[in-house]
Amino acid sequence: MKKGAAAVGGITLLLLLLIPVEEPQITTQHGLALYHDPNLEWDCTSLDWGTLTPESSKSIITYLIANSNATVAFTSRDWNPAQAESCLTLTWNITGYAQANTTTPVMWTLYAQPNITILTFTFKINITIV
- In the chain the domains, ranked by start, together with CATH numbers, are 23-129 (2.60.40)
pTM: 0.80
* Confidence at residue 19, expressed as pLDDT on a 0 to 100 scale: 45
**Residues facing 5 on adjacent strands:** 14
* Confidence at residue 64, expressed as pLDDT on a 0 to 100 scale: 97
Helix, strand, or coil (residue 56) = coil
Cβ–Cβ under 8 Å, residues 39 and 19? no
The per-residue pLDDT string of the chain (130 residues; one tens digit each, 9 = 90 and over) reads 334 444 445 555 444 444 444 566 999 999 999 999 999 999 999 999 988 899 999 999 999 999 999 999 999 999 999 999 999 999 999 987 899 999 999 999 999 999 888 888 999 999 999 9
Question: What are the residue ranges of helices labelled H in the chain?
Answer: 84-87
**Strand-by-strand arrangement of the 122-129 sheet:** 26-28, 122-129, 70-80, 97-98
Cα–Cα distance, 109 to 111 (Å, whole number): 6
